[in-house]
Structure 1
Amino acid sequence: MRILILGGTSEARALAQRVAGDAAYQATLSLAGRTRNPWLPPIPFRIGGFGGVDGLRDYLAAEAIEAVIDATHPFALQMSDNARLACATAQIPLAALTRPEWEAQAGDRWIVVDDIDTAVEALGDAPRRVLLTHGRLRLAAFARRPQHDYLVRTIDRPDDIEMLPQHRLILERGPFDGASELRLLENEQIDVIVSKNSGGAATYPKIEAARELGISVVMIRRPKADAVAECFDVEAVMAWLAAHRAAP
């Protein structure tokens, strides 16, 4: 069965490793190319966009793809929409390998917002020490609040980092552990964290550390995508693929 995995996440990595040794599947992993030194899978892969819905539909036809697994980041809404529309037009089954959202627990001090602009406003006027962990995009929005001191943690250097008047950059790739997150928040005297509600275990320790230290979290709500079949682990994907395989 020829399958396309839309990836870039730890879930996509796990699925690529799982199908690599399974003769029942011929899989290709597609990476957006936003990370400069991406993890390369043990299966064929491609890097870069498709050219919108039409480009993806053409690729699916040219490669005779029989099923698509959307294992992109929960905030990669454009790619997920393109996959849904292309697969619907081409009549190819589509499933999402995704992470359940984080839910606030007792002791969490969350300020839930809809987008980056609202997150900026939620920081308030008084100078604060802010940890930004929401990814590479739109750091420039925080330049509207130059009174804050920003600690930015991301995988690659953001192009717009210099627009933040007061900042320090940490280049690190998760997963992170609870002890190191506690040390980071304490040593850097962080007052508030800005984070997307990405879900999953890799970056959740920062949320646990914030809870333990009583630090506020400006949590950016996950965008709502049109419904497709959802799988929350690799074995669920394998069961879904088996159910969609043509009879031998």
Structure 2
Amino acid sequence: MRVLVVEDDQDLNRQLVDALSGAGYAVDSASDGEEGYFLGDTEPYDLVILDIGLPKMDGISILEQWRRSDRKMPVIILTARDRWSDKVQGIDAGADDYLAKPFHMEELLARARAQMRRASGHASSEIECGSVRLDTKSARVTCDGTQIKLTSHEYRLLAYLMHHNGRVVSRTELVEHLYDQDFDRDSNTIEVFIGRLRKKIPTDVIETVRGLGYRMSCGGGDEA
């Protein structure tokens, strides 16, 4: 799962990136509105954390342009303003949620998890696929009740597939959503991570759809 942080306060930007990275997300960041707008307009994100008061281009204008361009990723706006009219303006511009500064990082992470769950059609913090259960709150994966140890990339891959279970996900989509902008992307590594996951969870849970990609097969079955 990939997140964009657009925040001009360098300390807060770094804190957000560290917290989101620590929670298992691939994170890109921008410190001004123009860069943030460009990244959000050209890269696929599962969530954007967007400050309203930005240099070069303000957050409301960014959000309005994204929505006019049919960019549908969930957006949580950050604002130091307490006026209810600013919050209304953000929601009307297309924001999915907002937080007023200062805020607790745990609250932001909880809101981030909720937005990504809703965007993929899940109401609960726990997502199940056969005997495999993903707890998005604790980033904990279990199989038949036993916790499975995963690397950060294995976790991101499994989490993305489980958030989109039942749908075929291409290698290209996985690469775009698992790695941050600066990572040396190679779609061949997806096969490696899939192979590692199949050694840790039932092999038939992740189905290979030849020529198309992968799909979580929650009812079990043979590999295609």
Alignment TM-score > 0.5, same fold? no
TM-score, structure 2 normalization: 0.39
Who wins on radius of gyration, i.e. which is larger?
A: 1
More helix by share: 2
Q: Which has the higher contact order (CA 8 A, sep 6+)?
A: 1
